[in-house]
Amino acid sequence: MTQPPSGLPPWERPPRQPPTGQPPSGQPWSGQGEPGGAPYGQSPYGQSPYGQSPYGQSPYGLPSGYGRPGRTSRRTVALLVAGGVLLLVVVVAVLVAVVDGGSRDRRPAPAATAEAAGLGNDPTLDRLAGSCRAGDMQACDDLYDRSAVDSAYEQYGDTCAGRQPEGTGTYCTEVFTDAD
């Protein structure tokens, strides 16, 4: 295989021929890399101007810290364990807050200010309205959810029997605990 003249640009050079297993004439083949060329992992230009890496060479021509596993220091392991424990604490805190539902922010339901009479003629919704007035906040939310849109029942459930303004978008159980 002949080398192209050095003055030709790459697009004008003849294509390279794949190695045939035979070394080019007059050049011994080492069995690594290209025939007559430097073996893999060694620079064809000689030693690096920066000197040899203090970590040696990997079989792939990279410093030994790259491409293959090395030893992990105790400090790294300790930091990973501490990070895992911290992550676990955060996850548990979030789960407790979600499951708790923010009950610490709720306050006891004050006395109802609206009467449950005259809202409509549905006996099931009338029972829910009565329970809501008595201080059962889940009954207020159920009344709001089960009643017709823009009905007196819906307004009564939305205000928690007059305990909060209409249209807050907040369920009674999120604001108040049941009255005793």
Backbone region of residue 33 per phi and psi (left: phi > 0; alpha: psi in -120 to 50; beta: other values): left
59 band by pLDDT with thresholds 50, 70 and 90: low
The mean pLDDT of 115-120, rounded to a whole number, is 91
The mean pLDDT of 50-65, rounded to a whole number, is 54
Domain boundaries, the chain: 74-101, 108-177
State how far the Cα of 119 lies from the Cα of 126, in Å rounded to an integer: 8
* pTM for this prediction: 0.44
Asked whether the beta carbons of 86 and 78 are under 8 A apart, the reply is no
